[in-house]
């Protein structure tokens, strides 16, 4: 009874030289992913009607610029910690 909302941000590393890092930021509502940012694609992609509308808006505004910087800030900034674990 109620609603479930989740945001999952993750870095996927394919090598230790930090060249193959991929940043994924997913938004989930009631266990269904409705929008995702993928640094390889370079924009938001919507998977539901609501997600498509959000993706269109977010890809035009400052939200996209912020997400593009997360690969450097979040993934590369924490790579040493992730590799040491």
Three-class secondary structure of residue 29 per DSSP: strand
Over its C-alpha atoms, the chain yields an Rg (Å, rounded) of 14
The helix (run of H) or strand (run of E) holding residue 48 is: none
CB-based contact 34:28 (threshold 8 Å): yes
* Residue 35, beta-bridge partner list: 27, 46
- Predicted pLDDT at 21: 87
Q: What is the pLDDT of residues 74-85, one digit of tens each?
A: 888 787 776 666
The label of the residue with tokens 């993750």 reads: 10
Q: What is the pLDDT of residues 49-60, one digit of tens each?
A: 999 999 999 999
Q: What is the pLDDT of residues 20-73, one digit of tens each?
A: 889 999 999 999 999 999 999 999 999 999 999 999 999 998 999 999 988 888
Q: What topology is assigned to 5-84 in CATH?
A: 3.10.320
The helix (run of H) or strand (run of E) holding residue 33 is: strand 32-38
């Amino acid at each position: 009874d109620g609603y479930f909302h989740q945001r999952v941000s993750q870095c996927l590393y394919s090598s230790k030289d930090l060249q193959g890092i991929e940043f994924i930021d997913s938004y989930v509502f009631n266990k269904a992913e409705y929008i995702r940012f993928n640094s390889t694609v370079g924009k938001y992609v919507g998977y539901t009607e609501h997600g498509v509308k959000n993706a269109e808006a977010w890809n035009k505004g400052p939200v996209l610029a912020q997400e593009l910087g997360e690969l450097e800030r979040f993934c590369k900034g924490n790579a040493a910690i992730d590799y040491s674990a």
